[in-house]
Amino acid sequence: MAKLYFRYGAMNSGKSTALLQAAYNYEERGQKVLLAKPSVDVKGDTSIVSRLGVERTVDFTVSADDDIALAFARERDRVVRETGDAVACLLVDEAQFLTETQVDDLLRIAIVDDVPVLAYGIRTDFQTVAFPGSRRLLEIAHTLEELKTICRCGRKALFNARRIGDRFVFAGDQVAIDTIEDTTYESLCAACYLDESAGLLSGHLEHLHAR
């Protein structure tokens, strides 16, 4: 029986690079793979782009309203028609942007269709709140694997801090892809994240005490 894998890490932990390496490993052995990502991830348009400059077009994208199991079945049948080979693996980038229903469908693909599913993504947003897709993957994936990266201080990075220009921000929409000008993200350890957010948290507490 195939399994659903969730490989997660803070931003810049090499998730896309690891996904592309996994695809290469399958194909080096003559096996067919399918690559997918949520359409909300406009970085690279319909491609997966790693920090190392490696890029590959996905086989399909999914919006929040799409049936990912149906999209997978359609692409799997295309591969069989065109090559005569079965699909050996489904690899999903930016899996945090999937809906909970779509993650449930990934589990069904692994169990019912007997195709391993490797999902890559981040656990939490810039406010340390879990993305719905990531939360569901943490709940139901057969195997969890953390991909590590380091904070600017040298400790292991855990959180994804949002910057607008040269300042950190800790309020706003959970997903902000190409919607806020000059927005970047930095992976921080817990200590550095708390240091950067200390002023905001203190102000929030003072406001509560004043009520």
Question: Would you state the structure tokens that stand for residue 166, as one six-digit string?
Answer: 């040269």
- 86 three-class SS: coil
Calpha distance 14→150 (Å, rounded): 11
Calpha distance 165→203 (Å, rounded): 22
Residues facing 119 on adjacent strands = 6, 92
Sorted by sequence, the CB contacts under 8 Å of residue 92 that are 6+ apart come out as 35, 36, 37, 98, 106, 117, 118, 119, 120
- Tell me, yes or no, if 145 is annotated catalytic: no
- 190 three-class SS: helix
Calpha distance 144→74 (Å, rounded): 28
The catalytic position among 27, 55, 94, 186 is: 94
| Residues recognised as catalytic | 94
